[in-house]
Structure 1
Amino acid sequence: VSRVALCGGAGAFLWRKARALGADIFITGEAKYNDYFDCEGSPVLVTVGHYESEKIASRLLAEIISAKIANFAVYQSELDSNPIIAL
């Protein structure tokens, strides 16, 4: 694996863009059953959960913005709510 594409949330619709950009793996929050067939394994479609992917993506985005624009204030919400609770 040399190139990974990432989209937090429901981003499966972007798998064609990930392929066009040469991604080996496309990680997103959720996908439909047929999305896996449509990709035909290129890129490999990986879903990690809608909430979980957005939590990771927002943290990464905040880090990237802070590193690139030093005088730009980045605030992340302290609210952490997942509507799906595993019992």
Structure 2
Amino acid sequence: GNLNCLTCHSGDEPDDEDHPKGQQCSDCHDTKDWDDVNGSVPSPSGVNPVAQVVSPRMKTRSLSSTQISFIANSVLYELSRVNL
């Protein structure tokens, strides 16, 4: 990934001119655990320490692992009802 990325974006709104629209967390972090983006767990080794500095606005747009799990389970449940 891009180790110089300062923040990750869950939406398509860039935090500043250095971050293109639509940039995803996978561009900045070696892990897909969004808790890392929120700084609740350390960034993987090799990632620029500045990557852990996330704007408050970004935090409000991030989904927690719990929320992601809930959404995923809901989708799987609905799919199971359809009997594909």
Q: Same fold by TM (over 0.5)?
A: no
**Normalised TM-score (structure 2):** 0.31
Where relative contact order (Cα < 8 A, 6+ residues apart) is larger, the structure is 2
- Higher strand fraction: Structure 1 or Structure 2? 1
